[in-house]
Every structure is written in C-alpha cells, then in structure tokens.
Structure 1
C-alpha cells in the first residue's frame, strides 16, 4: 500500500468529478427514472454486501473496501454490464485479499451468499433457484473488476484520520471524547452508503462526520449521561463507590462542564481546510438519512429490481449434463462469432483429415507439413502423416483458434454479463 495518500492511486485516479460520474450514470437514470431511485438501488446493495461480509465474518475495513470497489465499478459502468448480485461477492472477495485479511474460502463465500439470499432476499429470485452464481463466476467477475479499476486497488479510509482528530480533541472534550469517537465512527460507516468516497479525500470525510457528531452530541446530552452511568456502574455497586458518593465525588459526574460545540468551533477554526467541502459531507449524510427514512425496501425494491432494472436470464443449477454438453457460452458476453468460426475451423479440419492424411486445399499458398523430414508441401498436394501427428495438429489448430469458453450448457446467455 502507498504510504502517502497524495501519491496513491486513490488520490491520483479515483477522486472523480461528479459531472463525469453522472454522464456514465445516464443510461441507468433513464431506466430507473430518477437519481433517487438510483441511490435506493445502491443503498440496497450496500446492505447486501454488508450482510455477505458479516456472514463470512470479515473485518469492517474489508467491507468498506468492498463497498468502494462496488461504487468505483458502477461509477463507470451501467447496471446492465454486470449483475450487481454477482459483483457484490466479487468485490468482497477481492477486498479480503487487498486488506490482507486472508483469502476468503470460495466455498464458504458462496455458501454464505446462498444462505443470506435464502434468508433475506429470496423474493428477488422468483425463478425458485435461489442464488444462481458459482465460485467460477465470482473469479471471472473479479478479473473484470480488476480491469475496470485498472488494478488501482489502494483505498484510504476515513477511520485513521478520524481517530487522530479525536485524539487531538480528547484533552479539551474530557468526558465527551469517547462518545464523540463512537458517534463519528458510526457516521463514517454510513458515509459508504453515499458517493462521498468517490469525490472527497478521506480526511475531509472524517472532518464532516466529526462535525455532524458534535451536533448530535450537543443536541442529545442524554448520550453522555448514559455512557457515564454505564462506565461507573461497576464502581457504584462497590463499597468504595458508596463511600465516595457520600462525599459527593460522583454527584456532579453527569453534569458536563464542557460545551462540545464551543470546543469544536474553536478547533475547526484553526484548521487549514475548506470548510465548505466539510459541510458538503454533512449535507450528503443528512440527505442519506432523509432518503433512508422514506425508503420502504420491501415495497419498492421488488418493483425496481424485477421490473425496471434489466436482469440476465437465470438458468437452472448446473448438473453433470451441463458440463458434458458440447455447447458453451462466452463469459465475457461477446457475440458468438468467434466461437462459430472456431467450430467451423475444427469441423473443416476434420473433413480434410481422413485415414491419417491431411489434404491441403487448392488455391492456398504453400503449407508446411508435419512430416519428420521437414519438407514443405505444394498447393493441392496430399501428404501422408502418422495418425498421432494428425491428431496433435488438429488439437493445436482447434485450441489456438477457439477462445476459452464458460462451462455452461444450452447456449444460453451468461448470467452475470449482459
């Protein structure tokens, strides 16, 4: 990982302009109808990634990196490119490697995805097959994700600067310090449900969350009283605390002598930052909470995901017959022209080869044969070749011309790529 944020790909390549993001988002907005509907879809799949991450028991930083990857991909691609249901575990799988958490077992990941979908999201798979993707699909999608991000995998999160800012405020905040860090940390987690990770550096996001946390604490003094009562409950039950209470040592603990708003205003005034950008973070979070309050997932998301948003054709779970069938589908979603040409080439080679002899059709240039003498053949000549050399030649010609195919049968469209 880069030591400096200012030299990392996070700053140099992935602080995007909002107008550019909206240009790439135009097709999805036409389908969904509005920016609010788009944000509801992103909010929904943020919850999906969070549920997948909790199921495989990864750290919060791994989930945060996966959310950033998810937003990066769809900031330059439409939902029609890759099914978000496939991109979600792919981002989580890649993030576990980048954050050095340890490679998540593919079997455990897919089992967790199926269990989470069966428990909470089965309504979005009306075909009855449940979660349709396999580990091979996630591995292929991982390479597509790497290509889309140009292998720029370094992500700087607001957590570290937030802890540093709270440490600076601790001597002045006194009893508010721990509550402030806790509330600001929750706000940072919620910030990944917005687009701020695409437009602002992490220290600006941390400052915006810190400012909003100060407002929350100032308007809800009961938060401090509850934390003080919890922290001192063990002492209050002891004889030492009882005797101390008689002398009034705990009598004024719940009465704060610090005004967090004044301390924060003084501290923010000494910073050399653009406060307008800090306020933009707060506005993004307030807009998120307003949308969250009006968002009815069970009532709205089935209509959006099943009717508005294009979905690939879901096929039945793979069986041994699927793998034995000769038909296969290109996982990249490209048209099957190259596959048809390669099959024609293979069939043409078989027609030309008979009884251990290869026929070089007329009208072509001189062709080298597979004979041990190394002599070159002329146009229209027939060269006798051993059977094993003929078979090797056919396999090499077929494998060199035919692209790598996906082991799915029936000639159906791939589930993840549309």
Structure 2
C-alpha cells in the first residue's frame, strides 16, 4: 500500500487497516462502499486505534499526490464521513488480535528465534493479510502455521515442540497449505515456495 508507505505507519497499523477493510466487505458491498475511499479511511481509523494517529490532512495530501484521477482525489470531509460509515459497519468494534503478538514468543519457545527464522516467519505473517485468514482462523494458529512453513523450509524438526503445544496439527497444516496455495495461485515465482510446497507435501 503506497499510501501507508508515504505516511510511514507501522506494519501493525497496516495489518489492522486491512482487517477492518476485510470485515467491512463481509457486511457491505464494494458498489456501496468504494474501496478507493474505504482503504485510506481504514488506514486513518487503524492509526487511531493503534495509537499511531495519522492526520486526515496528511492522508488527503498523499491521496491527491498518488492519484491521477480527479474523481478519486478525496477531501478530509470524505474521509471523516466514510469513517462514520465504517464504524457503523464494524458495529464500533475496533479490537484486532494479530498473529504478530504470539509469533515472537512462540519462536522463542520453539528455540527458533534467530534472525533468519524470525524474518521468514514474519514475512509469511505479513502475506497472510493478502488473504482472508484473519477472518477465518485464530491469530495464534496463523502464527503457528507460519512457523510450521518456516521450519519445514529451513529443515528444522520441531515436531516434539508442536506435540507439547497440544494443537490440532491438521488445522495448522491446512492453514499452511492455504498460505502456500495463495502463493501458487498468485503465480509468485519463488523457489522457496516451490521447495516448501514439495516438503510439506512429503510431510506425514
């Protein structure tokens, strides 16, 4: 999201904004709520919810800078009006629990909190926001699925650790396959993904 990069918000704010947007469109149609206005408004709302407030005027400045179409060069009042509509669509429920929260403690507990594993797992979590996983699975299971993919790819056997967690590995593996399916469907040419797919397919 170029807008988020320009206003320099934390990844967590972007993740919250994406979650709001996905929640909104489970209840409202895109024809009813234009995504080109909903997206920056969700970012604005998320920045406030995550206590990293971005001023509406700054968003409007970059919207105008990034948009070549006059029709979508929104004003502050447009953002504020849409904010109220989004709040209503969300039933004023703004709490979002993210996989990030449990990812670091889980990696540490598994003894896999080195830089390589952390970056790989974190990157996988970031990409899950391009899917609907945050709406369909508990955040800690998404985090575990990302750790599972990373461990398989890095050939680190943490089977015993997963057993001690007493989680349903079928669910973790299913989420893992959803993530890898996403990469494949988007035709992301990445040797790492192909390797992970192959290794996961061979896992019992």
Q: Which category of TM-score, normalised to the shorter sequence, fits these structures? A: 0.7 to 0.9
Stretch deviating more after TM superposition (90-99 or 76-85): 76-85
Matched, 1:105 2:78: no
| TM-score calculated relative to the size of structure 1 | 0.44
- 1:10-46 per-residue CA deviation (whole Å, 9 max, x = no partner) reads xxxxxxxxxxxxxxxxxxxxxxxxxxxxxxxxxxxxx
Higher helix share: 2
Residues 51-96 of structure 1: per-residue CA shift (max 9 Å, x gap): 2111101111000000000000001221111110000001000000
Q: What runs of 5+ residues in structure 2 fail to find an aligned partner?
A: 190-204
Asked if the contact 1:117/1:130 (under 8 Å) is kept, the reply is no
Pairing 1:117–2:117 present: no
- TM-superposed deviation, 1:116: 2.6
Q: Is 2:47 the partner of 1:89?
A: no
User: 2:25 — aligned with what?
Assistant: 74
Residue 166 in structure 1 maps to residue 107 in structure 2: yes
Distance in 2 (alpha carbons) for counterparts of 1:117 and 1:211:
40
Does the Cα contact within 8 Å between 1:169 and 1:177 map onto a contact in 2? no
Q: Is the alpha carbon distance of 1:266 and 1:294 closer, same or farther for their aligned partners in structure 2, counting shifts above 3 Å?
A: closer
Please say if residues 18 and 42 of structure 2, whose CA atoms lie closer than 8 Å, have aligned partners that are also in contact.
yes
Q: Does 1:212 align with 2:106?
A: no
Task: Say which SS state the counterpart of residue 89 (structure 1) adopts.
Answer: helix
Q: What is the aligned partner in structure 2 of residue 269 from structure 1?
A: 163
TM-score by length of 2: 0.87
**Deviation string, structure 1 residues 205-252 (Cα, Å, up to 9, x no partner):** 10001101112222xxxxxxxxxxxxxxxxxxxxxxxxxxxxxxxxxx
The offset of 1:130, in angstroms, is: 5.9
Shift of residue 279, structure 1, vs aligned partner: 1.4
Alpha-carbon contact 1:162-1:206 (below 8 Å) kept = yes
Contact 2:67–2:73 under 8 Å retained in 1: no
- Describe the shift of the 1:78–1:191 C-alpha distance in structure 2 as closer, same or farther (beyond 3 A): same
1:115 Cα deviation (Å)?
2.1
> Unpaired segments of 5 or more residues in structure 1?
1-49, 119-124, 219-259, 296-418
